[in-house]
Amino acid sequence: MRAYGPAAPVELAPGVDATLVTDYAAALQVLQNPDAFTRDSRRWRALEDGFLPQDSPVLGMMGYRPNVLFADGAEHLRLRQAVSDSLARLDAYRVSRHVERVSAYLADQFKYKGTVDLLNDYAKPLTFLVFNELFGASAEIGDRLIHGFTGIFDGIDAESANQELAGSLIQLVAQKRAEPGDDITSWMMEHPAKLSDEEMLHQITIMLGAGIEPERNLIANGLLLILSDERFFGGLYGGGLLVEDALNEVLWNSPPIANYATHFPVRDTELGGVKLPAYSPVLISFAAANTDPALSSSRQMLSKRAHLAWGAGPHACPIKESASLIATGAIERLLNEVPDIELAVPAESLEWRPGVFHRALSALPARFTPVQRPTTPATAADRGPTVGSGQARGRAERKGWWSSFLNWWRV
């Protein structure tokens, strides 16, 4: 695609044409220029004119929703301040402690077995459980949130999953209106922006959706690099610095969100000689921009903050510090719990989930020497359902990861 210049014509799905920016400097030009590029997909000309298939799989990610991601100007600033100010109240120590608790709980489910799917049995539930705590979800609401998001992300009965998700969020907002707590949901309600219940629902949806899926893929992709690259494998168990280095390399070379940040030019324009029709979708390839050959001679000298995996400009990720903290803590704790862990299959045989937007593994099987079970009565088996592979994981999901974790923590 680089042969086209800084951007290339692509077909995201049948009948959905777009332009994909692959050049680092051009990507910054789009991301940092809201006057020339709008995020409001209601202005998508082909969609307005009825030329797009209404059942297109990409519309779920690109179609308009009344949240901060698709807002511009004063409305974006109002919503962004409510989101950013609330996230800024997160205490790093609190986040780290909760990651430790959740990691210990999950490791307690599989460390006696000797095998684990590090994506589906560790990174995925860990991210759900951590975000449930940060947003103040009760046991019942947390279980419903997980069920809804899991169905949407995995494409399982999406209509039912959407209904479950909407119902759980309505319940969460109503609960926090009645009984505010020390959590992101309550902080957003208290914000001077005075978000309505409907605005709350849409902001929480995008915050959770944009946090959970990329976060679990960041953890899994980081673990894959650590367990498959000789520069890391066998040398990480003494501290966190190398974990941070591994995650930084993932964000440069294998970002969890590979292509996204849909923009629409407000007029016919050019980007490095490439013509962009007004109100046609322009997406940023974070993966391509980060590996732009023009950066090859200086990439090693670039700051870890110079990659575009977190975006840039007014829509840059507002929770990148906490996201990095969660991923680092999750990997460190795992390596402490099972220090001889290794991939159970060759790295090149792993499968990646198909999709335009993400860089996501389907599974990450690993093996290790099983930890000997304690002889005390309060073993992991006594603490509720496990989240191991196959039927065990299915039982845990049906009974509820969040309520199971809360029960385990009370023991």
CATH of the domain at 148: 1.10.630.10
Confidence band, pLDDT 50/70/90 cuts, at residue 305: confident
Strand 282-285 versus strand 16-21 pairing type: parallel
DSSP conformational letter for 375: S
Greatest pairwise CA separation for the chain in angstroms: 71
> Could you tell me the residue range of the domain that residue 157 belongs to?
2-410
pLDDT at 146 over 90: no
Per-residue tokens: 113: 């077995």
- SS3 string, 98-139, reads HHHHHHHHHHHHHCCCCEEECHHHHHHHHHHHHHHHHCCCCH
Choice between 337 and 142, residue whose per-residue pLDDT is larger: 337
DSSP conformational letter for 121: I
pLDDT at 236 over 70: no
Question: d(Cα 170, Cα 168) in Å, to the nearest integer?
Answer: 5
The structure's pTM equals 0.88
Lowest mean pLDDT among 132-146, 245-259, 274-288: 132-146
Amino acid occupying residue 3: A
H helix or E strand, kind and range, residue 339 = none
Question: d(Cα 239, Cα 92) in Å, to the nearest integer?
Answer: 18
pLDDT value at residue 138: 86
Number of domains in the chain: 1
DSSP conformational letter for 301: G
Q: In 3D, which of 203, 209, 205, 174 has the Cα closest to residue 191?
A: 203
Amino acid occupying residue 307: H
Average pLDDT, integer, range 93-119:
95
Average pLDDT, integer, range 44-50:
94
Amino acid occupying residue 347: A
283 contacts 57 by C-beta, under 8 angstroms = no
Question: d(Cα 37, Cα 29) in Å, to the nearest integer?
Answer: 10
